[in-house]
């Protein structure tokens, strides 16, 4: 496939980091397919991509639905051929951050979206990547997966830490098929997920955080690397990293 016809599937592409990644990848010539649960937010991402001259389409998807993920991957393969790059940005958190304040049901929900959703989508695209002999998986994780972050909460930290192991096993087991994976660990990013915190940060605090575009451009940089280069793990934080406070 030519450079202009490479396809990137951005799961969780309706807002925040996902939207920024979709815009950055489209600027680099990818046809970007964005997926998420809310059609209106996906449409807003499409508008942003199209306004800058990029190519994009949307596919509504609930990543907790096994059959829906498999069907989405099959539809994308039929329409675009194999997926060159998968970016998994879907994520959630809950207000209860400590074991004595969070239910097992809440933990299971966070794991289902943050980890199992990634497993479902990666598993769905791997056959096409293997057949093509090339593929990139970018798992958007968190600083909380790289260093203990009490404020992130037990459920979120467990789910994101697991993504690091997932990327490592992909690189170990799929490298001979030309498939590489990146565990991308941003620090605090000014996105809507901050509103799930027991005490959401102020506008002043958010202004010191990474912007979604900072992470989106990093995703595009990873995708620009030649096929012989695997960015196994990448950590980026705000200069004013509150984890050091």
- From the list 9, 30, 88, 156, the catalytic residue is 156
Burial class (CB in 10 A: 0-12, 13-18, 19+), 40: exposed
CA–CA gap between residue 197 and residue 109 (Å, rounded): 16
Beta carbons of 35 and 72 less than 8 angstroms apart: yes
Residue 156 annotated in active site: yes
Q: How many of the other CB atoms lie within 10 Å of CB of 245?
A: 5
Helix ranges (DSSP H) in the chain: 16-27, 39-51, 66-80, 104-111, 117-132, 154-174, 203-207, 212-224
Q: By C-alpha distance, which of 89, 83, 86, 70 is closest to 5? A: 83
Beta carbons of 223 and 28 less than 8 angstroms apart: yes
In the three-class reduction of DSSP (H, G, I as helix; E, B as strand; rest coil), residue 9 is classed as strand
Q: Which residues are catalytic?
A: 156
């Amino acid at each position: 496939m030519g450079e202009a016809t490479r396809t990137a599937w951005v799961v969780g592409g309706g807002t925040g980091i996902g939207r920024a990644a979709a815009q950055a990848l489209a600027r680099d010539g990818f046809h970007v397919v964005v997926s998420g649960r809310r059609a209106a937010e996906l449409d807003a991402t499409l508008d942003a991509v199209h306004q800058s001259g990029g190519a994009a389409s949307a596919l509504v998807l609930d990543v907790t639905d096994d059959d829906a993920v498999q069907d989405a991957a099959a539809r994308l393969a039929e329409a675009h051929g194999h997926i060159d790059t998968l970016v998994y940005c879907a994520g959630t958190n809950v207000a209860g951050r400590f074991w004595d304040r969070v239910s097992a049901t809440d933990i299971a929900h966070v794991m289902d979206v943050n980890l199992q959703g990634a497993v479902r989508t990666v598993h769905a695209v791997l056959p096409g990547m293997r057949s093509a002999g090339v593929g990139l998986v970018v798992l958007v994780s968190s600083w909380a997966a790289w260093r203990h972050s009490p404020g992130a909460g037990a459920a979120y930290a467990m789910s994101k830490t697991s993504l690091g192991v997932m990327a490592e096993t992909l690189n170990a087991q799929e490298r001979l098929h030309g498939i590489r994976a990146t565990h991308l660990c941003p620090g605090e990013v000014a996105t809507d997920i901050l509103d799930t915190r027991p005490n959401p940060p102020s506008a002043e605090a958010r202004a010191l955080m990474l912007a979604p575009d900072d992470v989106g451009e990093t995703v595009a940089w990873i995708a620009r690397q030649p096929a012989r280069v695997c960015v196994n793990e990448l950590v980026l934080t705000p200069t004013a990293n509150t984890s050091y406070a």
